[in-house]
Amino acid sequence: MLASTNTCAHEGVEGYLVRVEASVSTGLPQLTFVGLPDTAVREGRERVRSAIRATTPDFPRGRGLVNLSPASRRKAGSAFDLSIAIALLTAAGLSETEQVRGTAFLGELGLDGQVRAVNGALPAALCASRRGLERLVLPRANAAEAALAGGLAVYGVDSLGETLSLLRSGFKAAPVVVDAEALLAERAGTNSDLVDVHGQQSARRALEIAAAGRHHMLMSGPPGAGKTMLARRLPGLLPALSVAEAMEITTVHSVAGVAGGALVTERPFRAPHHAVSGPGLVGGGGPSIRPGEISLSHRGVLFLDELPEFSPAVLNQLRQPLEEAELTICRAAGSVTFPAGFLLVAAMNPCPCGFKGCTGRECRCSDQQLRRYRNRISGPLLDRIDLHVHVPRISFAEMDPGKSPEDSASVRQRVERAARRRSLREQSRLPFSRSAEELLGKASEAMNLSARSTRSLQAVSSTIADLADESEVSCAHLSEALQYRPLDDEQL
């Protein structure tokens, strides 16, 4: 007899429907898979066979044939197991054909028939919902995440046996329901607040501008100045997440297997070590292409500490995502696109020893060492960073214990207002006043600015004017923006 089921796979963050056809006939006891299955699916043959035997002793000894379609799509992973097992059991007359119709199944099987959690539950559920399926049955650990998709009934199961019972009962159990809006409203919030940062006025201001205008930022300063502490506070300054943004982040994290089975309610902060590999940073690796750190920090912050220590070849791969907010990874098997709309915050010491420009400490680096250190960061990458800020070490005398610094929530209010102002007008940038226009001309001539640098200066000035609630960029706004241009060697 012939039977078929539905399951969903994902390529990048896009889910697609896979149809599983199975037939069981008399003959030699064997199980054959067709439809371009990769190693993991072939290994699935053993898991499916063993799980069926452990669940139903009645399964006929005969020839089982399984076909996965469309054949043109590459099918990786173990998430097809449950769907294959249900197709075989239905073909053998051991499951309810009526209930299987309109249902998608997803999950890896253990040899004992247990159903194990898989990656990519949310994109799979979104696809099943979009394709008009009524129900999705998947591992219990993935159910809350899949239920975020909405538009179909989601059931979590622990075993193949439980799945059969659910089908026999005609889905009498209550489906899992999740309210994404409520989850976002009750989010715990981060414990990294600007209220803990004393002094550092210039870096605090740069963080506010970075958050308001989505400008990438580079902090330069000696070890112990608090660059990491400052960077960690940036996600908390960005506008609160909308449901759509939280779903986007959760989808990427789901595919990477780091979503934790629920809606991601905080903007990501990722800080990969400088020894990170190319695939680790931008994605790739393995038969199923995984998102890298740049995609895991989508709609949040990517922090690269000790920027000159990263491999120049690895840093070079940041150029496309910095421009386009997404990255396409090409492999022989096809190409996959992941979102990568991150805010870059980089940090570096001013020189190899770390103390150039520091009061009370002497820098012992030679000019040549200094040049070599700076040259490790390519010009094109530096060009894409709008805000350059020096972060000095703060002495105890400069901290004022009597005065509490402004907290993150107050800064975020200004950031949200500025972001709203920008979203309400047609042009992304504000017009310049006549005198500001003249100053811009003089500055770009005196500083020999490239077209890209001039655009960056205009964008930062416009963000500063937005933060000040003004409808035109003035000389004061532009002058402040000029402070965030890259520093010359002498100024450090």
DSSP state of 473: B
The continuous run of DSSP H or E covering 2 comes out as: strand 2-11
Nearer to Zn ion, 207 or 358 (CB): 358
Shortest distance in whole angstroms from residue 358 CB to Zn ion? 9
Shortest distance in whole angstroms from residue 305 CB to Zn ion? 18
Q: With 0-12 CB in 10 A as exposed, 13-18 as middle and 19+ as buried, what is 103?
A: buried
Nearer to Zn ion, 13 or 351 (CB): 351
> Looking at the DSSP assignment, which residues form a beta bridge with residue 17?
8
Dist. CA 413–CA 318, nearest whole Å: 30
Nearer to Zn ion, 351 or 440 (CB): 351
SS3 state of residue 179: coil
Instruction: Answer yes or no: are the C-beta atoms of 46 and 64 closer than 8 Å.
Output: no
Shortest distance in whole angstroms from residue 394 CB to Zn ion? 20
Nearer to Zn ion, 300 or 350 (CB): 350
Nearer to Zn ion, 207 or 363 (CB): 363
Q: Calculate the CA 189 to chain-centre distance.
A: 18
Greatest Cα-to-Cα distance within the chain, rounded to the nearest angstrom: 89
SS3 state of residue 4: strand
Instruction: Answer yes or no: are the C-beta atoms of 393 and 222 closer than 8 Å.
Output: yes
Shortest distance in whole angstroms from residue 219 CB to Zn ion? 17
Shortest distance in whole angstroms from residue 17 CB to Zn ion? 59
Nearer to Zn ion, 32 or 366 (CB): 366
Dist. CA 67–CA 51, nearest whole Å: 19
Shortest distance in whole angstroms from residue 72 CB to Zn ion? 57
Query: What ranges make up the beta strands (E) of 192-233?
Result: 217-220
**CA angle 19-23-28, nearest 5°?**
140
Render 110-166 in DSSP notation, one character per residue.
Answer: PTTSBEE--S-HHHHHHHHHHTT-SEEEEEHHHHHHHHTT-SSEEEEESBHHHHHHH
Distances (CA, A) of 316 to 270, 349, 375, 381: 18, 20, 13, 7
Nearer to Zn ion, 118 or 363 (CB): 363
Nearer to Zn ion, 310 or 355 (CB): 355
Position 333, amino acid: A
Cα radius of gyration (the chain)? 28
Nearer to Zn ion, 218 or 353 (CB): 353
Nearer to Zn ion, 191 or 359 (CB): 359
SS3 state of residue 275: coil
Q: With 0-12 CB in 10 A as exposed, 13-18 as middle and 19+ as buried, what is 488?
A: exposed
Nearer to Zn ion, 286 or 360 (CB): 360
The footprint of Zn ion (CB under 5 A) covers 351, 353, 356, 363, 365
Instruction: Answer yes or no: are the C-beta atoms of 284 and 204 closer than 8 Å.
Output: no
Position 43, amino acid: E
CA-nearest of 50, 56, 69, 89 to 6 is 69
Shortest distance in whole angstroms from residue 359 CB to Zn ion? 14
DSSP state of 196: G
Shortest distance in whole angstroms from residue 198 CB to Zn ion? 26
Render 337-360 in DSSP notation, one character per residue.
Answer: EEE--PEEEEEE-SSSSS-TT-TT
Shortest distance in whole angstroms from residue 80 CB to Zn ion? 57
Shortest distance in whole angstroms from residue 348 CB to Zn ion? 12
